[in-house]
């Protein structure tokens, strides 16, 4: 059934209906669609474009439609291709022909842009909230494991000892940048597109600023053609989501490695692992593996939308219908990944002794021995070469840096004294007492800053949710 006009002499082919319908996925926008319609209806009545009585009838009817959908009473039909058509069709059933006046001074082109922006601004707040939760988990674990010494790696080779707390706070920094990207994107999402019409603006005396105020937008778009063609704000969310998933994947990869028998640094709680259908001894880090594996989905959605946009002439093209499935699946992938990673970390236990042993092994203190010589006036490049030779002697004689005889040290460089063999992992860590370093004092300062940053995020989330709730027209009638 065609709801739109009398231009056509026949109904669309069933194949066309199935191919072009979007109701299977855009039905989740019903609250945003109806909220936007209420604001639009109020504006029409306020400007005299429709009568006050008609506006009241339409708004009351829209609330009934919202309740029908929320309570599962709405029957969805592919013949009514999208959520906009379903809402208007049901509204017509409820209040009669006056329902047709709702679509005065708007197009589905600016309507869907509004729905997506309303949806995304809610999702961004939810995303930032979950990032704050994950940051809080990292802070808790960094506090719990504050004095645990761990091996730091480059090229997946043991490099230098660090505090495990310092290692965890590296991920905190990544997720802080992610939160900043989402909050920055929010500014560009929170602009009202309604009023652009199909592409050229509208010949009615509309009040876009009133609609923006009703819905809690910071302003209105400035070019009607750009407005209906723009999906940059969706790309920005997908790009930020892709980076967040990359960071989650890096953390998940380390969890997978660290829980192996070969590493043995970490043990996951049984509630965040699975077993094998064949091997009864197995305890698999499937949650971490799935977080790692789901990254490609979000990357794919970002690439998909970028490719979709790159060849589109102005203004609206039906290709843009493809934005919603990409966005919805990215959201449905990212948010659970953030939640499950928090839970997995919160319930994990650490093998501090195993980590300490690994941190001291593999000549990870070689740089500190070189620094020992630098303090005694040896240029670093020369000290580097000297210690390289000492490592060769250790390998040839089966010694470590801490038990290599002093005469072996002095055979390479006479500046060594007995205290060189007192260099240990804790001394190495404590020596790196610079901003951003792994020394306990610096880690304490970083933890304090991290806690404040997370508190700032939570305050931002609270402000946005309060503001959005105040402008949710389905729960805040005029």
Q: What is the pLDDT of residue 176?
A: 98
- Mean pLDDT over 326-347 rounds to 97
198 pLDDT higher than 90: yes
Is 5 a domain residue? Answer: no
Q: How far apart are CA 448 and CA 78, in angstroms?
A: 55
Q: Is the pLDDT of residue 209 over 60?
A: yes
Q: What is the mean pLDDT of residues 330-356?
A: 97
Domain end point (choices 88, 104, 120): 104
Same domain, yes or no, for 222 and 350? yes
Residues 180 and 276 in one domain: yes
* CA separation for the pair 193, 234 (Å, rounded): 14
CA 372 to each of CA 209, 363, 407, 423, 435: distance values in angstroms, whole numbers, following the listed order? 68, 15, 17, 9, 21
Please write the tens of the pLDDT for every residue from 23-74: 888 999 999 999 999 999 999 999 999 999 999 999 999 999 999 999 999 9
Comparing CA positions, the residue from 161, 170, 169, 155 lying closest to residue 358 is 161
For β-strands 349-350 and 266-267, DSSP reports them as antiparallel
Given pLDDT bands bounded at 50, 70 and 90, which one contains residue 173? very high
Answer yes or no: do 38 and 117 share one domain: no
Strand bridging mode 219-220 / 149-154: unpaired
Residue 383 is part of a domain; what is its CATH number? 1.10.40.30
For residues 181 and 155, membership in a common domain is answered with yes
Query: Which of 157-171, 190-204, 246-260, 463-477 comes out lowest in average pLDDT?
Result: 463-477
**Do 127 and 76 sit in the same domain of this protein?**
no
Residue 283's pLDDT band (boundaries 50, 70, 90)?
A: confident
pLDDT at 2 over 60: no
Q: How far apart (Å, rounded) are the C-alpha atoms in residues 309 and 303?
A: 10
How many domains, the chain? 3
Last residue of a domain, one of 80, 104, 128: 104
- pLDDT tops 70 at residue 5: no
Residues 32 and 137 in one domain: no
Tell me if 351 is assigned to some domain: yes
Query: pLDDT band at 277, cuts 50/70/90?
Result: confident
Would you state the pLDDT for residue 469?
A: 94
Token pair 């839970």 is found at 343
Residue 212 lies in domain: 109-357+446-469
Question: Does any domain span residue 57?
Answer: yes
Q: Is residue 431 in a domain? A: no
Q: Are residues 274 and 334 located together in one domain of the fold?
A: yes
Residue with tokens 């789901």: 294
Active-site residue set:
155, 276
Helix H, strand E, coil C: the string for 264-328 is: CCEECCHHHCECCCCCCCCCECHHHHHHHHCHHHHHHHHHHHHHHHHCCCCCCCHHHHHHHHHHH
3-state DSSP call for residue 192? strand
Last residue of a domain, one of 104, 120, 150: 104
Say if 428 falls within a structural domain. no
Looking up residue 319, the CATH number of its domain turns out to be 1.20.200.10
Question: Does residue 381 share a domain with residue 308?
Answer: no
Residue 6: its pLDDT value, please? 61
Residue 475 covered by a domain: no
Let me know if residue 478 belongs to a domain.
Answer: no
Instruction: Decide if pLDDT at 9 tops 70.
Output: no
- Residues 423-450 pLDDT 10s: 999 999 999 999 999 999 999 999 999 9
Q: Whole-prediction pTM value? A: 0.94
If asked whether residues 151 and 230 sit together in one domain, one would say yes
Do 129 and 207 belong together in one domain? yes
Most distant CA pair in the chain, distance: 100
SS3 breakdown of the chain: % helix, strand, coil, rounded to 5?
65, 5, 30
pLDDT, average across residues 445-470: 97
Rounded-to-integer distance, Cα 12 and Cα 21, Å: 11
Q: In terms of domains, do 285 and 169 share one?
A: yes
Q: Do both 148 and 43 map to the same domain?
A: no
DSSP string, 194-259: TT-TTTT--SS---HHHHHHHHT-SEE-S-HHHHHH--HHHHHHHHHHHHHHHHHHHHHHHHHHHT
């Amino acid at each position: 059934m065609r709801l739109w006009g009398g231009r056509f002499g026949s109904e669309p082919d069933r194949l066309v209906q199935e191919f072009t319908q979007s109701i299977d996925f855009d039905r989740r926008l019903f609250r945003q669609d109806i909220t936007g319609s209420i604001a639009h209806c109020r504006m029409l009545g306020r400007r005299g474009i429709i009568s006050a009585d008609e506006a009241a009838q339409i708004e009351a009817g829209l609330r009934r439609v919202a309740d029908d959908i929320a309570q599962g009473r709405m029957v969805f039909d592919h013949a009514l291709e999208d959520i906009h058509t379903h809402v208007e069709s049901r509204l017509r059933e409820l209040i009669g022909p006056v329902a047709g006046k709702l679509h005065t001074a708007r197009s589905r082109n600016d309507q869907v842009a509004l729905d997506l922006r309303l949806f995304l601004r809610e999702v961004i707040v939810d995303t930032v909230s979950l990032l704050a939760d994950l940051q809080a988990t990292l802070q808790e674990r960094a506090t719990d494991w504050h004095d645990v010494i761990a091996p730091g790696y480059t090229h997946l080779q043991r490099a230098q000892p660090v505090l495990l707390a310092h290692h965890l706070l590296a991920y905190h920094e990544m997720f802080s940048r992610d939160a900043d990207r989402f909050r920055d994107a929010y500014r560009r999402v929170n602009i009202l597109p309604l009023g652009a019409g199909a592409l050229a603006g509208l010949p009615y005396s509309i009040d876009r600023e009133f609609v923006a105020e009703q819905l809690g937008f910071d302003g209105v778009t400035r070019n009607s053609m750009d407005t209906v063609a723009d999906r940059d704000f969706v790309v920005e969310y997908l790009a930020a989501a892709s980076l967040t998933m990359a960071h989650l994947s890096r953390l998940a990869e380390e969890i997978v490695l660290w829980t192996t028998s070969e590493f043995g640094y970490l043990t996951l709680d049984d509630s965040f692992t699975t077993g094998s259908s064949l091997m009864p001894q197995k305890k698999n880090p499937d949650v971490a593996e799935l977080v790692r594996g789901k990254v490609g989905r979000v990357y794919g959605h970002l690439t998909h939308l970028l490719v979709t946009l790159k060849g589109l002439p102005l203004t609206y093209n039906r290709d843009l219908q493809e934005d919603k499935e990409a966005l919805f699946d990215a959201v449905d992938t990212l948010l659970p990944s953030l939640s499950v990673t928090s839970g997995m970390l919160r319930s994990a236990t650490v093998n501090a002794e195993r980590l300490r042993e690994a941190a001291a092994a593999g000549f990870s203190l070689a740089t500190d021995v070189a620094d020992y010589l630098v303090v005694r006036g040896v240029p670093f490049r020369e000290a580097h070469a000297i210690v390289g030779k000492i490592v060769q002697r250790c390998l040839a004689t089966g010694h470590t840096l801490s038990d290599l005889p002093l005469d072996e040290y002095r055979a390479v460089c006479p500046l060594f004294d007995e205290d060189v063999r007192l260099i240990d992992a804790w001394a190495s860590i404590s020596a790196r007492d610079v901003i951003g370093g792994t020394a306990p004092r610096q880690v304490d300062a970083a933890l304090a800053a991290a806690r404040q940053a997370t508190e700032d995020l939570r305050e931002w989330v609270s402000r946005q949710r309060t503001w959005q709730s105040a402008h949710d027209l389905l729960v805040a009638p005029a």
